[in-house]
Amino acid sequence: MSGMTRGYVVRRFLMWVLTVWLGATLIFAIPRLAPGDPIAAMVLRMSAQGQIIENSAELIQAWRERFGLDGPWYVQYVNWLRNCMTLDFGYSLTQFPARVWEMIWRALPWTIALLTFAVIITFILGNLIGALLGWRKTPPLLRSLLPLTLTFSSIPPFIFGLLLLFIFAYTLDLFPNQGAYDSRNLQPGLTVEFLASALHHAILPAMAIVLTSMGGWALGMRGMMITTDGEDYMILAQAKGLRTPRLFLRYAVRNALLPQLTALALSLGLIVGGSVLIETYFVYPGVGYLLYYSITNGDYTLMQGIVFILILTTATAVLIIDLLYPLIDPRITFQKR
Amino acid sequence: MGEHSNDRKQPSRDGSLDSRRVVLDVQDLRVHYATPRGDVIAVNGINFQVYEGETVGLVGESGCGKTTTAMAILRLVQPPGRIIGGRVMVEDTDLVSLSEKQLRQLRWVKLALIPQGAMNSLNPVMRIKDQIGDAITTHEGRLPADALKQRILDLLNQVGLPARVYGMYPHELSGGMKQRVCVAMAIALNPPLIIADEPTSALDVVVQRVVAQTLLDVKQRLGVSMILIGHDMGLQAQLVDRIIVMYAGNIVEIAPVREAFKNPLHPYTQLLIASIPSIKERKPLKVTEGLTHDLRNPPPGCVFQFRCPHAREICRALKPQLREYGSGHLTACHIYENAGEYERSAPIVTTATPSAALYAADLFKEVDPHGRAAS
Amino acid sequence: MNSPKKRLHALGSAIVGFSLLLAATANVAQAAPPQQSVPREQTLILDIDGGKVITPDLWNPLVPGSRRDHGFHQSMIEPLFILNYMTGKINPWLGESFTPNAKQDVWTLKLNKNAKWNDGKPVTADDVVFTIGELCLKVKELNCHGAMNEWVKGVKKIDAQTVEFTLKNPNPRFQLDYFSVKIWGGINIMPKHIWEGKDPLTFKNYEKGKSPVFSGPYKLVSFNPDGTEFIYDRDDNWWAAKSGFKPLPAPKRLIWTWAGPPENRVALMADKKLDSLMDITKGAFDTLKAKNPNVIAWYKDLPYAVLDPCSRTFELNTTLEPWNDPEIRWALNYAIDRDQIVQIAYEGTTSKSRIPYPMYPPIQRLDKLLESKGMFEKYPIWEHNPKKTMEILEKKGWKKGSDGYYAKGGKQLSMVITTHEAFIEKQRIADVLVEQFQAVGINASHKKEAGQLWGDNFAFGKFEARMGWQMCGSVSEPWATLNTLNAKWIVPVGERANGNQWRWKNEQFSKIVDQIGVLPLGDKRIDDLFVQAMDIYFKELPVIPITQAKKLIPFDTTYWTNWPSDDNKYAPSWTWWQSFYDILVAIKPAKKS
């Protein structure tokens, strides 16, 4: 990383700050521009429980004040930015008096644990399959069998999840059908039983994510491999009489993988949103469902909190990838041209 | 066709026959490229030999099949191309019929490549030491780390590169340095034959000179045989002993280099030499007049008939065979066949510019045969 | 060269990271799992109706977002009274009686003298006065504030078991509407000794490892941090059992679980891992019965399903041309084929409506009354007669164009029916309605709107037609539903209306409704006024009754029997209502152990 200058790091960090700030501003603005009044909707839900609320305007005003939604927009904006900096997003609009941070924190570890592992496995498997598909020397039998693994990608994840549940949970009874651990008998903690149970519960949802999403990586990787295969250095490497594994891994895959890594950092934000169905079908705890809940129930404070966390993590992941990129691709230097 | 395939005796640079060992014997090599509208015949049954210590130039305009020939010799023709026939004999082994595994073991040991366009020929994410090193360790097994390092540093030294290149990445090197890394890599296993595919094509004039000099040094020091592919007639004149001229997948002339420049026989060779713009300004060959035939569907008769200023009826009917018309000077042209015997003075063919011979003379002056480049 | 080792290292640290992350969840408020296990045959496992409980550590039922359907108000918070849907009678629970004065503006509540909180303290008038007077009336943001503030002028302790409510206006339905689980739940009494001195808005009413203090027959044992499973164990000291008021419920343990999408839940029930489910489709029910023959529903045959209190209505914005014309509304009614809706949208699991009421026995009596007065001959609401539709339209000057649609003055007769995007049942009705209207030459279309927007558009009068249930209100008496059409609610389009969002204005009708409104429940004069009001309603037809609502609720008899059904209708089947106590004390183990 000899080429990394301090100026670059500072610039890149300022970019990160700008991204996060723009994100925070958008999150602030969009709900305020959207139709419908979240407070009114909340009050409407109360009245939907069979009672006519005869003085809803008064109630709406009371809640508006409590959430600071009655002040001028710039005061609300400054408050919001302060919340973002302290990661304290106040109370949930629909789950008052639950605090947004507390709700996110309850779900986040599961999301990170499940998604991190599923995404890493997906990334490795998808790229391996794609690399083998795009590699000329792949044995024909393997080459004709591999696309079968990609057919899972064309099955909607929820149907696939159901299929997995039906086969492995209900018919074979190998895996639990729901939950993140055996909550009827165990308590979370650093115990072997709990971790084993957590792992056991994570396998089916992870499988559903991996099998349905590795196709995208595989197709991208296949294309990159074909492009790479036509490169001059591949021809020279072949002429050198290198053994196939080295040719495949150090020359072809190593180069084809570079754009995929960038895509990985960028996809982090999408992954959480995409895991809603998995969380729903496997009744797995997670931020995805929380986000879905916040949107469908008009819980703006919760939604803003989650989306801000997503922006923050994605921007940070991109920052890290950017700073680490010279380790991955020596051509990238941070010096100004 | 193929009547010369058994004739291993061919002239050296000065035209004298010799009986040196044949390092490479290409026999009736055919390469086709599949296209949706039929196969393109890229190499149409060519025959030639390369002797020990000899440098053979393979010239012709873009698309004539010279690079395909080189790739076919290395068995590296990229799809949709494929070798459909012939033999590539390297020391009594036919590369075309070897298994992948046997071939892999022979590669680089018997036959190395200096690629075209060195800009992209090195793996961008590997250090130079690893890229030279893996060629060595693949074939010789693992060496002690310091022995390997010493060997790589020696190789770099041999091509005139500083030791710091050892730990660098390709993008940190200039085009000329990269090409010299490729030369170092090619000589790493001391192969009997190196194929250099337009080794200077992407470089600027000064750097071309340096790379050419490196090649010449290496050749003379190691006594390695070389096939030098290129359309740079100047470079050819400096480096090669014999020239093979290809046109549309066929060899139209084989001649000792001086003969080729001074007394080109085939009308196409004459055109080539006539089109050399100037010594100082080397450009890719551009012979614009006339049209090449559809390579999917070659006409009966001579491949050059549509562009040949001397084409006759027989040229449209019968394909001329390579015949020897002087010591080691072969051409495939009906003009000479009909003349009965080769007459050096016969003004049957006029060169496109009368000064071609002068150019040729000039070219030979430019680089002195013992190595140093002229200013 | 050492990269395999490195990779192993990375994998190792990743696993450690994973473990730490999961262990971190242990710090989140979380009750300990139950110490002892309870056999399946002593456990009742039920479906959480409303999905995951987003904040499982929130046990304050007074804040607007709080959830109560995960066993909270079915096993811990007891109601004062429970309305019997079959008889229309209001039965005592925590409350013994609740009686109005003649003017219906002073109500006296008497509590069961044996009632106790699960910490042993008695339930007294102080708790009621505190809850209504200090919490509901004073804290505007609480969910009980709106209703109490609307009606209650003062609340006063008479003695330890007696509380007097003074109302701002006479209200004969004060007990029915708010304290008798008329629909889903009601206003509940909090233990004063727990709540006093707490901020009722931020009080979570939960301490790790402890059950919140309420009076019900079960105590909270544990829940998972994801809010998908809640475990309650029976409190054998339950006051009602001790005093002989009610038998001790048979299940030792209650588990309320959310198993995800319907497919999973059905699969679980087929596996006998759930004893009941919230509303499922007929297809799912057929599958379930095939896999588990012990499964029953309300009826043995079609329609299987039990009636839901909110009948389904097709609603028009009566401020818009041409829907402001009663004759045009009748033209629409003639175009509607309700039998087809029952067959297509419901697969036969419901029945059609001719009044906008749920057909429980007390309402059936009213329906018979209307029939005996010749109302349904005078207003043939079930007549599907597209010819009449066309006649009316043509009489009104609409002409059918070459495109097959009616038009007048260059304007095509079109209509957009909106539905709530989350409610498939209503969407399916809307789709059939679109077909039926299209068939007579009305260019109808269906648009799904996000729930919040749909609700706002309704309140602000920014809709044309909708498939809804907003005349919902009455289950045992006629007034609540009629009152949704009262002209007193009307505000201009663009302002938020709290009722009569269709903005149908009929002074005479409203006058009758107000007259009924102040009569005591069961007053003889109500019937006559009801018929008069319905005469106006039918003539004008501002909201068109379509079908009865259905809830297909399966019960598994493998472990528990004596579930409510048409043969044994001691209570409605709703496991997510606060009236579930009626079922809880009635069910019996299938096998004697």
Any A CB within 8 A of B345 CB: no
- Classify each residue of B75-101 as buried b or exposed e, where b means 16 or more C-beta atoms within 10 Å of its C-beta: bbbeeebebeebbbbbeeeebbebeee
Give the pLDDT band of residue B13 (cuts 50, 70, 90).
Answer: very low
Query: What ipTM, to 2 d.p.?
Result: 0.80
Q: Each residue of B30-79: pLDDT tens digit? A: 999 998 888 888 898 999 999 988 999 998 888 888 889 999 999 988 88
A259-273, B194-208, C545-559: the lowest-pLDDT one: A259-273
- Residue A264 is predicted with a pLDDT of 85
Please indicate whether, in this complex, the C-beta atoms of B112 and A239 are within 8 angstroms of each other: yes
Task: Count Cα atoms within 13 angstroms, Cβ side, for C265.
Answer: 27
Q: Which pLDDT band holds residue C541 (cuts at 50, 70, 90)?
A: very high
Q: pLDDT tens digit string along B289-322? A: 555 667 777 778 888 888 887 877 888 888 888 8
Give the Cα separation of B89 and B87 in Å (integer).
Answer: 6
Residue B287 pLDDT: 52
Q: Are B71 and B107 in contact (CB under 8 A)?
A: no
How many residues belong to chain C?
593
Is the pLDDT score of C362 beyond 60? yes
pLDDT confidence bin for B281, thresholds 50/70/90? low
- The gap between the terminal CA atoms of chain C, to the nearest Å, is 67
pLDDT at B291: 58
Partner residue opposite B120 with nearest CB, options A233, A250, A329: A233
Residue C530 has pLDDT above 60, yes or no: yes
Residues 218-257 of A with CB under 8 A from C: none
The answer on pLDDT for B351 being more than 60 is no
| pLDDT value of residue A60 | 77
The pLDDT tens digits of the residues spanning B108-163 come to 999 999 987 667 889 999 999 999 999 999 999 888 999 999 999 999 998 889 99
Average model confidence (pLDDT) for chain C? Answer: 91
State pLDDT tens for residues C250-304.
Answer: 999 999 998 887 888 898 899 899 999 988 889 899 999 999 999 999 999 988 9
Closest CA to A133 of A237, A210, A224: A224
State the pLDDT at residue B353: 43
Instruction: Answer yes or no: are the C-beta atoms of B230 and B240 closer than 8 Å.
Output: no
pLDDT of residue C531: 97
Whether residues B117 and A232 touch (CB distance < 8 A) is answered with yes
* B372 to chain A, closest Cα gap in Å: 29
Which amino acid, C111?
Answer: L
CB pairs under 8 A between A and C: 211
Return the higher-pLDDT residue of C368 and B16: C368
Given B106, B171, B185, which is nearest A331 (Cβ)?
B171
- What are the pLDDT digits (tens) for C15-70? 666 666 655 554 444 445 666 789 999 999 999 877 788 889 899 999 877 888 89
Of residues A307 and A42, the one with the higher pLDDT is A307
Among the partner-chain residues C57, C260, C498, the one whose CB lies closest to the CB of A54 is C498
* DSSP line for C290-328: HH-TTEE-SSSSTT-PEEEEEEEEEEE-TTSTTTTSHHH
Of B359, A99, A27, which is closest to residue C55 (Cα–Cα)? A99
Least confident segment among A197-201, B260-264, B292-296: B292-296
Asked if C181 contacts C79 with a C-beta cutoff of 8 angstroms, the reply is: yes
pLDDT > 70 in chain C, percent: 94
C403-441 pLDDT, tens digit per residue, is 999 999 989 999 999 998 878 889 999 999 999 999 999
More confident residue, B337 or B6: B337
Confidence of residue C500 (pLDDT cuts 50, 70, 90): very high
Which pLDDT band, with edges at 50, 70 and 90, does A2 fall under? Answer: very low
Task: Tell me how far apart the alpha carbons of residues C295 and A164 are, in angstroms, rounded to a whole number.
Answer: 25
pLDDT of residue C12: 64
Q: In 3D, which of A328, A318, A21, A13 has the Cα closest to residue A5? A: A13
Distance from CA of C508 to the nearest CA of A (A): 22
User: CA C422: distance to chain centroid?
Assistant: 15
Q: Does A11 touch chain B (CB under 8 A)?
A: no
pLDDT tens column, A218-249: 989 999 999 898 888 998 999 999 998 999 99
Per-residue confidence band for B341, with pLDDT thresholds at 50, 70 and 90: very low
What digits encode the pLDDT tens for the residues C435-461? 999 999 999 999 998 777 788 889 889
Band (B358; pLDDT cuts 50, 70, 90): very low
- Whole-model pTM: value is 0.76
CB of A330 within 8 Å of a chain B CB? The answer is yes
The predicted-structure confidence for B240-255, as pLDDT tens digits, reads as follows 899 999 988 899 999 9
Cβ of residue C75 closer than 8 Å to a chain A Cβ: no
Given a contact cutoff of 8 angstroms between Cβ atoms, the answer to whether C273 and C62 are in contact is no
Contact C60 A38 (CB under 8 A): no
- Say what the pLDDT of residue C5 is: 53
Do residues C285 and C297 lie in contact, with contact meaning Cβ atoms separated by under 8 Å?
yes
What φ, ψ does residue C132 adopt, rounded to 5°? -75, -45
- Residues in contact with A295: Cβ distance below 8 Å, sequence separation at least 6, in sequence order: A303
Task: Give the pLDDT confidence score for residue C25 in this predicted structure.
Answer: 53
- pLDDT higher than threshold 90 for residue C71: yes
Lowest-confidence pick of A148-157, B261-270, C176-185, C322-331: A148-157
- Residue B23 pLDDT greater than 50, yes or no: yes
Give the span between the Cα atoms of A230 and A223, in whole angstroms. Answer: 11
Count of residues making up chain B: 375
Residues of C in contact with A194 (CB under 8 A): 22-23
- Decide if A323 touches C, using CB distance below 8 A: no
Other C-beta atoms closer than 10 Å to the C-beta of B147 total 10
Query: A4-16, pLDDT tens digit by residue?
Result: 567 778 888 899 9
Q: Band of the pLDDT at B344, cuts 50, 70, 90?
A: very low
Question: What confidence score (pLDDT) does residue A287 get?
Answer: 86
pLDDT at res. B211: 84
Give, as one character, the DSSP assignment of residue C185.
B
| Average pLDDT score over residue span C337-359 | 94
Q: Is the pLDDT of residue A188 over 60?
A: yes
C23 at A interface, C-beta within 8 A = yes
Q: What pLDDT shows up at residue C184?
A: 87
pLDDT over 50 at B5, yes or no: no
pLDDT in the model for residue B88: 93
**Most confident segment among A277-291, B28-42, B316-330:** B28-42
Verify whether the Cβ–Cβ distance C228 to A106 is below 8 Å: no
**Separation of CA B125 from chain center:** 30
The residue ranking higher by pLDDT, B235 or C154, is C154
User: Is C312 within 8 Å of C470 (Cβ atoms)?
Assistant: no
d(CA A259, CA A254): 10
So what's the pLDDT on residue B8?
41
> What's the CA gap between B196 and B198, in Å, rounded?
6
Q: Name the strand (E) or helix (H) holding C47.
A: strand C43-47
Q: What is the mean pLDDT of residues B327-343?
A: 72
Query: In the prediction, which pLDDT does C81 show?
Result: 97
d(CA B267, CA A18): 69
Q: Are C125 and C159 in contact (CB under 8 A)?
A: yes
- Running DSSP on this structure, what letter comes out for residue C548? E
CB A326, CB A5: distance < 8 Å: no
Q: What is the mean pLDDT of chain B?
A: 79
Most confident among B76-90, B188-202, C471-485 (mean pLDDT): C471-485
Residue A287 and residue A281: Cα distance in Å, rounded? 14
Residue C208, pLDDT > 90, answer no
Question: Is the backbone of residue C447 left (phi > 0), alpha (psi -120 to 50) or beta?
Answer: beta
Who wins on pLDDT, C81 or A49?
C81
**What distances in angstroms separate CA A1 from CA A78, A255, C434, one per listed residue?**
39, 19, 66
State the pLDDT at residue C3. Answer: 46
Q: Which residues of B touch A331 (CB under 8 A)?
A: 124-125, 169, 171
Backbone angles phi, psi at C8, to 5 degrees: -60, -40
Q: Return the closest-CA partner of residue C204 out of C35, C31, C47.
A: C31
**pLDDT above 70: percentage of residues in chain B:** 79
